[in-house]
A and B are shown apart, each in its own frame.
Chain A
């Protein structure tokens, strides 16, 4: 009898978790649909969108660029030492290029921007919720979804591919620096090798991933901030949830997109 009750309680807890997950997915989907529906419904706030492009795109450049530079450099060394075991050290330029463009550029860029931007969006909107600024927007005849959420989500969607395009170039340049200064590659041959192996499909994969990651990280920041609980603790939780959920969704979406483009 006790065993039966334990099994029931265990199954009930799984059921509850699944239901909560489905409900959360539904809420997030409705939130995203509501935000994106404002794309075709005026008024629009181009000034707000421009500010968010600067914040998400331009001001994230240093962190994304440095991440790409060091990743490209480390990748070149790893491939050289790993490839050397079966006399394949010369594939460094092509593997660095493909590795950075198809995988590491968008994924690491996405994770770095998630840490930087999702958290700051969640903290900003959470504080606006707690201090009634979001309610104030409503009383000033301004839809918060239109004024706050859409510009951020749209900026994430558009700025991330631009950021990742730059990150890809910097990442490849990191590999080039190590390849030519430490591993003895001829500079012209390194560049030729890189360009010969990269295909338009690699770049398309990279930018598509970046756009999806940008959408996800901005959406998670907005969703968690917009629904922040009361007080400093509520804002803190919203910020943590935004970064954690954005990172997990980026990694999951990366796998699904890689399967789709495989």
Chain B
């Protein structure tokens, strides 16, 4: 890996909403094939960071480099073609069936879109990979449980075998058993596909299952970052308070 350009690099990223400086200079690197988990309390800018990388939000200042190229110079459509994303609430399209959701990008590809039959077959194969049977293919998202919706979202994220996958709070709103299943699935899929993964979460089980590297956002910056094995032993009081869920410590809590 030595000498390889980071797959994604953030340099001094800044973003403000009104008076609220959410990102005050975030710098991070994600190497190819690595699974980075970004942790931090609510409102620390985890989702904003992710949306800036995806181009859904525009940063006020700083640089985002993809394979060493500034994001502004990267062909956005080509860039997104290699990305998959699992949203916090799955973000499935209500008006489409499960298989149409999974195969959305394949059906609507600008170049060589798949026919409906081939797209449906591929969607069913991806659904099987996340543990859902073909009987779910023709259901609508509203007919699925929260855990099943997450699995469908996961199937959609991996439908085109992307090189980079983002996971936004993948276990939010799930019971511990289903959360464990989703965490294991993410780890398996990322290893199987050799994909680069960026996960944002405040669930420490996810961190311990999914992460190669961890970065903690606090106060608008990456307060700590390092290998997962270094996390427990780190002397950083902010990190220690967060990973052990202590009410006492430098991070202010509201009771």
Closest to B159 in A: A140
How far does the Cβ of A109 sit from chain B's closest Cβ, in whole Å? 26
CB-CB nearest in chain B for A51: B95
Query: Given A131-B91, A132-B87, are A138 and B56 neighbors across the interface (CB < 8 Å)?
Result: yes
Q: Which residue of B lies closest to A140 (CB)?
A: B105
Candidates A42, A131, A140, A141; contact of B89 at CB < 8 Å: A131
Which residue of chain A has its CB nearest to the CB of B106?
A140
Cβ B80 vs Cβ A141 within 8 A: yes
Contact of A141 with B85 in the complex, beta carbons under 8 Å: no
Measured between beta carbons, the chain B residues less than 8 angstroms from A43 are 108, 110
Task: Find residues 220-237 in chain B having any chain A CB closer than 8 Å to their own CB.
Answer: none
Q: How far is the CA of A255 from the CA of B105 in the complex (A)?
A: 45
Could you tell me if B110 and A136 are in contact, using CB atoms closer than 8 angstroms? no
Q: Closest residue of chain B to A42, judged by CB?
A: B110
Count, chain A residues at interface, CB 8 A: 16
Q: Is the CB of B91 within 8 A of A136?
A: yes
Q: What is the CA–CA distance of A96 and B31 in the complex, to the nearest angstrom?
A: 74
Q: A43-B110, A141-B80, A141-B81 are in contact. Are A136 and B93 (CB under 8 A)?
A: yes
Report the bound CA distance from A45 to B109 in whole Å. 12
Interface residues of A in 120-171 (CB under 8 A from B): 127-128, 131-133, 135-136, 138-142, 147
Considering only residues 127-166 of chain B, those with a C-beta below 8 Å from chain A are 156, 166
Q: Please name 25 pairs of A and B residues whose Cβ atoms are closer than 8 Å in the assembled complex, sorted by A.
A: A43-B110, A45-B108, A127-B94, A128-B93, A131-B89, A132-B87, A133-B91, A133-B93, A135-B91, A136-B87, A136-B91, A136-B92, A138-B55, A139-B54, A139-B83, A139-B166, A140-B80, A140-B156, A141-B80, A141-B81, A141-B105, A141-B109, A141-B110, A142-B108, A147-B108
Least CB distance, A155 to chain B, in whole angstroms: 15
Residues of B contacting A133 in the complex (Cβ-Cβ under 8 angstroms): 91-94
* Shortest beta-carbon distance from A116 to chain B in Å: 18
Q: How far is the CA of A141 from the CA of B78 in the complex (A)?
A: 8
Check if B77 is an interface residue, CB within 8 A of chain A. yes
Whose C-beta in chain B lies nearest to the C-beta of A142?
B108
Interface residue? B104 (CB, 8 A) = yes
Whether, in the assembled complex, B51 has its beta carbon less than 8 Å from a beta carbon of chain A, the answer is yes
The distance from the CB of A42 to the nearest CB of chain B, in whole angstroms, is 8
Query: Once bound together, how far apart are the Cα atoms of A252 and B80, in whole Å?
Result: 43
Cβ–Cβ < 8 Å partners of B83 in chain A: 139
Q: A43-B108, A132-B87, A132-B88 are contacts. A139–B93 as well, Cβ < 8 Å?
A: no
On chain A, the residues within 8 Å of B55 by CB distance are 138
A132 to B104, CA, bound (A): 16
- A interface residues, Cβ below 8 angstroms from B: 42-43, 45, 127-128, 131-133, 135-136, 138-142, 147
**Interface size class, chain B:** 20 to 34
Q: Bound complex: CA of A135 vs CA of B83, how far in Å?
A: 13
B residues within 8 A CB of A42?
110
Chain A residues near B85: list those with CB within 8 A.
136, 139
**A contact residues around B109 at 8 Å (CB):** 141
Cα–Cα, bound, A118→B167 (Å): 34
A131 and B173 alpha carbons, distance in the complex (Å): 14
Residues of B within 8 Å of A127, CB to CB, are: 94
Write out the residue numbers on chain A whose beta carbons fall within 8 Å of the beta carbon of B80: 138-141
Q: A131-B89, A133-B93 are in contact. Are A140 and B51 (CB under 8 A)?
A: no
Alpha-carbon distance A111/B249, docked complex (angstroms): 59
A132 partner residues in chain B, CB cutoff 8 A = 87-89, 91
Closest CB of chain A to B168's CB: distance in Å? Answer: 8
Bound CA–CA A132/B91 (angstroms): 5
Complex: A45 Cα to B93 Cα, angstroms: 16
Report B18-47 residues with CB < 8 Å from chain A CB.
none
Q: Which of B71-113 contact A (CB under 8 A)?
A: 77, 80-81, 83-85, 87-89, 91-94, 104-105, 108-110
> Taking the nearest CB of chain B, how far is it from the CB of A2, in angstroms?
31
> Which residues of A lie under 8 Å from residue B51 when comparing CB positions?
135
Interface string of B44-61 (1 = CB under 8 A from A): 000000010011100000
Shortest Cβ distance from B93 into chain A, in angstroms?
Answer: 6
Q: Across the two chains, which residue of chain A brings its CB closest to B84? A: A139
Best-surrounded residue of B84, B88, B94 (most CB of chain A within 10 A): B94
Q: What's the Cα separation between A140 and B109 when bound, in Å?
A: 9
Partner of A141, one of B77, B92, B156, B166: B77
